[in-house]
Amino acid sequence: MAASVQVQIEEPFAASVSPGRLKTAAEVTLEAEGHSTGELTLVITDDEALRALNWAHLGIDAPTDVLSFGGESPGFVSPPSVDTYLGDVVIAYPQAKKQSSAAGHPLEAELTLLVVHGVLHLLGYDHVRSEDKAVMWKRQGEILSRLGLTHVQPA
């Protein structure tokens, strides 16, 4: 059974986002990390939703670009038909749009970066310590290269 990636895009952003590209980014990341099975969900929403999640789960009252919630997080229940529910990656479309403009690359590239970044978090990567950040950024860059985005780097 191959990995299953569900994409949910809130209505205000549906016309501006390619679900296929996001799904491919998640699948390539999973494949690169040796995860051929499991399920995850990608959600594209607004800044307020990310702000509320950031406050509820991290105690930070500010919007952010992407949050990842592992399948073992409190309040998440794995569907019975899925052996491994990896979790959810939630992305704020308006924040991604601002960041893409500031970085000078297309919005689709920024969304792809955020998907890769979020999936890597689900798989255990982190960037709190500088040595962990170096490892995560290197891996992110390798996966973005596989996706043809060698010029996209996180802030």
Question: Residue 139 sits in a domain of what CATH number?
Answer: 3.40.390.30
Question: pLDDT, tens digit, for every residue of 78-132?
Answer: 455 555 899 999 999 999 999 999 999 999 999 999 999 999 999 999 999 999 9
* Nearest residue to 135 (alpha-carbon basis) of 125, 150, 145: 125
Asked whether residue 135 is assigned to any structural domain, the reply reads yes
Model pTM score: 0.90
Question: pLDDT, tens digit, for every residue of 118-131?
Answer: 999 999 999 999 99
Q: What pLDDT is recorded for position 76? A: 47
Higher-confidence residue of 47 and 76: namely: 47
The CA-atom distances, in angstroms, between 99 and each of 33, 77, 81, 84, 85 are: 26, 32, 37, 32, 29
Contacts of 81 (CB under 8 A, 6+ apart): none
Boundaries of domain holding 53: 4-146
Q: What is the mean pLDDT of residues 39-46?
A: 97
Q: What pLDDT is recorded for position 122? A: 95
What mean pLDDT is reported for the chain?
90
Asked whether residue 155 is assigned to any structural domain, the reply reads no
Asked whether residue 154 is assigned to any structural domain, the reply reads no
